[in-house]
Structure 1
Amino acid sequence: MKTIHVRNSLLTNSSVEFLVNSYEIGTIIKCEFLTRGLNDTYSVFTESNKYIFRIYRKGWREKTDILYELDAIKHLSEYGCRVSIPIKRKDGKWLSEIYTPEGTRYGVLFTFTKGDRPEINKENCYLIGKALGNIHEASDSFITNHKRNFELNFLHLVDEPMSLITPTLQKFMKNSKDSFLNQIITNIKFDIVGKNLEYGFCHGDFHNFNMHLMEQKIEAFDFDCCSIGYRSYDIAVFWWNLKQNYSNVENQCWDEFLNGYLSQKSISNDNLNVLLKFVTLRRIWLLGTLLKNDDVWGTHWINKKNLDNFLTQLEQDVEKF
């Protein structure tokens, strides 16, 4: 009989409720599945509070990666950054081991970030930039014994994604764009390597979908993509978000974001001058991530039209380098 393999199981609400009984949070009223992405997220309600329970996907993050992330979040909280923090189990452990058909997965309970996703306007973008500046400033002293299995460097942002993008373009574009894309990457690498860029802890996915605003204060969550890496990339992710989702207010909001960041942390001209190039790398990383995780996003979107749109965005970036 052929063995059946499972890539990514989904736990029932009742199973999650059983798991979160291992935490000292009071009487649990209910657990609700919230969203599926690169990890599975559930809302947990008690008589007095709300929490978030995240179950990390098998093969996406290893145990040491998760412990690195939690150490970083705890460090930031201790240094005054507003972040959603992990909660220990009754047995003193940070991780809940979950035995699923695809193998051992890990769950973490986090505090719930109150407020709402910040609207994109000049005032809020200043606060968002300020929050990222605080994170970078506070994390300069971060150390941990846990290993992160990737850094936000060329290997992770370009080389690994391109191993998936190249055959996809060859399939749908018949090699017509290979030289164009390879030349862009070669030029970006050459330009970045020649500069003295800041390298340190990064959130990795810092945009308004991964934070809430309450009483004019930003609280960040979802550090799943954090690691050490190019700080210019971490800053550029927000610019990418503006270009992708809020192009009508891009210029004014980007200026305010930078003003907010610079109010908390200085940045050299070398770092500022390569930000648009890191927007391009963000586009490459994202496409590679979508292709790699087809069990999350499917394959229906992989077609010539969407690939053309990706290449057009890169062309528009290059025009402004």
Structure 2
Amino acid sequence: MNSAVSSITPDLPNDLPVAQVSHSVLHPAFIAREVARRYPTKGEITCFLLYRGMNDVYLVQDDTTKYALRVWRKTYRDVDDVAYELDFLAYLQAQGYPASVAVPQHDGRLYFKVASPEGERALAMYDWAPGVKFGERLSNETAFRIGAAMAQMHLHGFAWAGKDHAFSTKTAKDYNICMPALIAFVNDRPDDLRDYPLIAAALDKRLDELAASGEVPLGVCHRDFHPSNVHVDEDGAITFLDFDAAGEDFLMQDVQNFVWGNLFYGFDPAIGEAFEAGYDSVRPFTQAEKDNRELFLMAKALRLVAGMAESSTAVGRGTLRFRNLDWLGDYIKTRARACGLL
């Protein structure tokens, strides 16, 4: 047995307890072998782990091309939920939309599954997004074009879903799945223990009211769009990526996710304003959407802290390195009070 294989499948003493695993990391040699047999690549395959995070991403390269391969982390979502993202991306590709899309395998499938210590996990290989993160090439003009492109994506989402499809607020309220983890996360913070469940319950009601009004539209959304999830090349061409949270949501939530991410990274607020202006130039905001900007900014922050709590057993608390619980709590509660949710 060669060293690469033995490092993946070592012999284990049978008298030791079997550990519960929250997040295993697949060996690059295993990934390379699976890619070589599943995909129409050329020549030798090399692979290394780029980063381990909410999902794990590998750089895969053959003799002519490089790709990004994602291994989804096992979460509360069903492993086959990834089909939603990949099918939507395939539709966007057919429309000529600038997004990083999954590469089909020999049999045409867009993802495959493997068994891991924590259960089944999904894998998909994507074409490489050219350029660098928008945060490394900031400009108001590019932000405007990114906003316009997001609006176009939302319009494509309506066509993909079909004119008779009824959108739901279910995934817009996924923060409720993470609330038990958030309560455990802030167990030494009495104010947070009291306030977060109250805010979540009030937000549930408000979101349902907005959906029922028909003035704040729902649609197919990226659901985690921020300045690091769009690349810009030297010629200014943009590519959207990381659709792994894609699903039904309020379109304005998608917009404010980017605006909030701009704040989170400490960029000039003018970037977020240009992004909104670009979006509005393609799909004009309703007055109700404008009136609820602060609500969706607050909701983004609540989603973030709840999601970090849920994922902390797998990826640790390092995602708080930019903003701590005091900052997040103040942001959420100040806006929740202003919106009448607390």
Q: TM-score of the superposition, structure 1-length normalised?
A: 0.87
Contact 1:36 1:296 in 2 (8 A): no
Decide whether aligned partners of structure 1 residues 10 and 190 sit closer, same or farther in structure 2, where only a CA change above 3 A counts. Answer: closer
Aligned equivalents of 2:62 and 2:84: distance in 1? Answer: 28
Shift of 1:319: 7.3
Choose which of 103, 106, 124 in structure 2 pairs with 1:108: 124
Shift of 1:88: 1.4
1:6 aligned residue: 21
Contact 1:120 1:246 in 2 (8 A): no
1:213 maps to 2:232:
yes
Aligned equivalents of 1:225 and 1:83: distance in 2? Answer: 15
Aligned equivalents of 2:319 and 2:246: distance in 1? Answer: 27
Shift of 1:131: 1.6
Decide whether aligned partners of structure 1 residues 97 and 165 sit closer, same or farther in structure 2, where only a CA change above 3 A counts. Answer: closer
Query: Identical aligned pairs, as a percentage?
Result: 22
Shift of 1:292: 0.9
Decide whether aligned partners of structure 1 residues 102 and 319 sit closer, same or farther in structure 2, where only a CA change above 3 A counts. Answer: closer
SS at match of 2:133: coil
Decide whether aligned partners of structure 1 residues 179 and 234 sit closer, same or farther in structure 2, where only a CA change above 3 A counts. Answer: same
1:48 aligned residue: 64
Q: Please list the CA deviations of residues 34-93 of structure 1 after superposition, one character each: whole Å capped at 9, or x if unmatched.
A: 111121110111221111111112335434311111111111111221111111111332
1:228 aligned residue: 248
Gaps of 5+ in 2: 1-14, 163-167
SS at match of 1:89: coil
Decide whether aligned partners of structure 1 residues 319 and 122 sit closer, same or farther in structure 2, where only a CA change above 3 A counts. Answer: farther
Q: What pairs with 1:88-237 in structure 2 (closer than 5 Å)?
A: 88-118=104-134, 119-143=137-161, 151-153=170-172, 155-157=173-175, 159-169=176-186, 171-174=187-190, 176-181=191-196, 184-185=199-200, 188-189=203-204, 191-192=206-207, 193-194=209-210, 195=213, 196-214=215-233, 215-237=235-257
1:253 aligned residue: 271
1:79 maps to 2:95:
yes
Query: In the alignment, residue 81 of structure 1 is paired with which amino acid?
Result: Y
Q: Please list the CA deviations of residues 135-194 of structure 1 after superposition, one character each: whole Å capped at 9, or x if unmatched.
A: 1111111139xxxx99432x313x23333333443x2123x3455545555655555425
Aligned equivalents of 2:39 and 2:263: distance in 1? Answer: 41
Shift of 1:234: 0.6
Structure 1 residue runs of 4 or more that deviate by more than 4 Å after TM superposition: 177-192, 299-302, 318-321
Gaps of 5+ in 1: none
Contact 1:50 1:111 in 2 (8 A): yes
Decide whether aligned partners of structure 1 residues 191 and 106 sit closer, same or farther in structure 2, where only a CA change above 3 A counts. Answer: closer
Which 10-residue stretch deviates more, 58-67 or 271-280? 58-67
| Aligned pairs, number | 311
Shift of 1:289: 1.0
Aligned equivalents of 2:109 and 2:318: distance in 1? Answer: 40
SS at match of 2:60: strand
Decide whether aligned partners of structure 1 residues 55 and 178 sit closer, same or farther in structure 2, where only a CA change above 3 A counts. Answer: closer
Decide whether aligned partners of structure 1 residues 161 and 102 sit closer, same or farther in structure 2, where only a CA change above 3 A counts. Answer: closer
Query: In the alignment, residue 9 of structure 1 is paired with which amino acid?
Result: S
SS at match of 2:231: strand
1:18 aligned residue: 33
Q: TM-score of the superposition, structure 2-length normalised?
A: 0.82
Aligned equivalents of 2:169 and 2:100: distance in 1? Answer: 23
Q: Please list the CA deviations of residues 105-157 of structure 1 after superposition, one character each: whole Å capped at 9, or x if unmatched.
A: 2211110111111233312211221121111111111139xxxx99432x313
